[in-house]
Amino acid sequence: MSPVTRRLALALPALALALPVAAQEPAILLFRVVSQRDEVIIGLTPAELAAMGSGPEAERIARKLASDGQVGAWRYTVGRAADGSTRYGATGRIAILKQDTYRIEPYRAAIPVAPPPG
């Protein structure tokens, strides 16, 4: 191995560690909203969530709900993608009302989640 090749071989792993890894931000964040009558999975884009302020995500939604009395979000349900695979997809916009909500918690889907319609 030539000296140049050896230096290059030693430098590449160090260079890879020095480069910041870009964390891929999800297109949609899911939450389970539990009320007396039922529960629903909702989705908010990172921009919608950022507009609600700072802090833990579920708390942002709860603060917005307490201050405004309602929160608009995408309703997500399990369905089929065009290729036939199972995934969560947006079925439309809904309003979550303050008086009907008991709990909001982050929801981690075990199947792929489609972004909301453009």
Domain coordinates in residue numbering, the chain: 25-106
**Mean pLDDT rounded to a whole number for the chain:** 84
pTM as predicted: 0.76
* 37 secondary structure, DSSP code: S
| Percentage, residues of the chain above pLDDT 90 | 67
pLDDT band at 2 (very low <50, low <70, confident <90, very high): low
For the residues 30-44, what does the mean pLDDT come to? Answer: 94
Q: How many CB atoms lie within 10 A of CB 48?
A: 19
Rounded Cα distance, 20 and 23, in Å: 9
pLDDT digits over 46-103, tens only? 999 999 999 999 999 999 999 999 999 999 999 999 999 999 999 999 999 988 778 9
Rounded Cα distance, 39 and 100, in Å: 10
pLDDT surpassing 50 at residue 17 = no
Q: Strand 101-106: give its sheet, edge to edge.
A: 86-97, 70-80, 39-44, 29-35, 101-106
Residue 100: per-residue pLDDT? 75
* 8 secondary structure, DSSP code: H
Rounded Cα distance, 107 and 2, in Å: 53
Rounded Cα distance, 74 and 115, in Å: 10
